[in-house]
Amino acid sequence: MARKTPGRLIVVSNRVALPHQTAAGGLASALRAALAENGGLWFGWSGKVSAAETGAELHQASDHGIDYATVDFSRADHDAFYAGFSNGALWPLLHYRPDLVDYQRSHLDGYLRVNRIFAERLRPLIGPDDTIWVHDYHLIPLAAMLRKLGVKNRIGFFLHTPLPAAGLLIALPNHHELLETLASYDLIGVHTHRDLRALEDYFLHEAGAVMRLGGRMRMPGGREFRAGAFPISIDTEHIAGIAQKAVGLKEIVQLRESTRGIALIIGVDRLDYSKGLPHRFQGYARLLERDPELHRHVTFMQIAPPSRGAVLEYRAIRRELERSAGHINGKYAAPDWVPIRYINKSFPHRLLAGYYRSARVGLVTPLRDGMNLVAKEYVACQDPEDPGVLVLSRFAGAALELGDALLVNPADTEEVADALEQALHMPLTERRRRWKAMMRVLRHNDITHWRTSFLEALRAPGKPAPDQP
């Protein structure tokens, strides 16, 4: 491993984008860039499940000035920490689905145990001047466990999911035991002003904190921390360039040939109940039902890669979507026209960029989403001379920045159908106006702006954290 140097950034996340792996999306690229600036360390799970105990061996590597340190999980810890508490309890709760929370005390024990092992294996790697940046709901208590081991460094936390109101958070058994450990961080980052207010309300009304000058919150024991809204974004210009180059790819040419004279609507989502896919299919079906003139002139392509296939709810939604797509095609298809193309696999990012650019409408309608970078990528990929229209859920964090999209309630079938109809008939001048307005936002609030604003706030303790996007 490369020699540690003072003042590094240490990134901690459940999964690590190792040097031999292709960076999956803008977040991995942004974190690598941040680590490369002053030298850094990326610590987390290797992605492997082994027969040994969790953390029995520390895997270390270095590449282009960045150190990597990972541990394997035991099967029991993977099932309890990752599949159990993180994705079986925290994920549905944070996405406003307390009815799907599968809480088991043994899973919480495993969650806490893995976080404790992370802290123990990370502690010797921390230099006195290092800054630590922890990511996402898998690692909520990590700072508290590092503090118990004597770590006094500045530690920040960023939550990549939505954060529901305190009235929902308290539905988690023993919520105080877990959520109040967030106070051990120096700075907590969330995507939106709405999420920030939910966090503040929880600590003020459930944890007994008081608000101090500069947005600091003071816990009953005297510990102070800050929270702020830092809306994550994309590498706007890079993605726009990829989309422009993608038009010549064989697959993109084939898609355009197969949809010649047909307006393409596109959706790209993980197969997850938070994405509102069944409602989306219903909205599209309602459009076809009430506007027969659109038959043969529009097709909807939904790309939905499998996600957490071992979880019962995910298997159920996959079956539901397959039935719905079959029903829509069975009712409306013609020998020379397929109204819906449902694709249950993933594609390389360069192809997705080309698909976005080829689509007249981007349909992004999650029931809840912390941000939703698909919406931003769809906008960035458009042809400036002939841009498509974004139809976006009001309940995605991106809606607070992309107000020139057509905003909808994803549960309102008629409203979704109305927006699709408006998008398909929107004049070119209006499409250009809306697209230019959204691109101005994306060029200013890009992925670099996100990471630099968070790290500056973390490293400057006297500076108030932002309270709105």
Residues annotated as part of the active site: 160, 369
What backbone phi and psi angles, to 5 degrees, belong to 235?
A: -85, 85
Side chain identity at residue 59, one-letter code: H
Query: For the chain, what is the total number of helices (H) and then of strands (E)?
Result: 17, 16
Contact in structure between 79 and 35 (CB atoms under 8 Å): no
Six token digits for residue 454: 């968070």
Q: Rounded to whole angstroms, how far apart are CA atoms 433 and 331?
A: 37
What backbone phi and psi angles, to 5 degrees, belong to 104?
A: -135, 130
CA 169 to chain centre: 19
Six token digits for residue 156: 């920040």
- CB within 8 A of 24, min separation 6: which ones? 17
Six token digits for residue 31: 């974190």
Six token digits for residue 198: 């939910």
Q: What letter would DSSP give residue 214?
A: G
Helix 428-444 to helix 236-246 angle, to the nearest 10 degrees? 130
| CA-CA-CA-CA torsion sign (202, 234, 96, 180) | negative
Q: Rounded to whole angstroms, how far apart are CA atoms 209 and 183?
A: 10
Q: What letter would DSSP give residue 81?
A: I
Six token digits for residue 164: 């529901």
Among candidate residues 38, 3, 4, 34, the one with its CA nearest the CA of residue 17? 34
Q: Rounded to whole angstroms, how far apart are CA atoms 359 and 382?
A: 9
Q: Rounded to whole angstroms, how far apart are CA atoms 138 and 86?
A: 6
What backbone phi and psi angles, to 5 degrees, belong to 49?
A: -110, 125
Q: Rounded to whole angstroms, how far apart are CA atoms 183 and 3?
A: 32
Q: Rounded to whole angstroms, how far apart are CA atoms 358 and 380?
A: 12
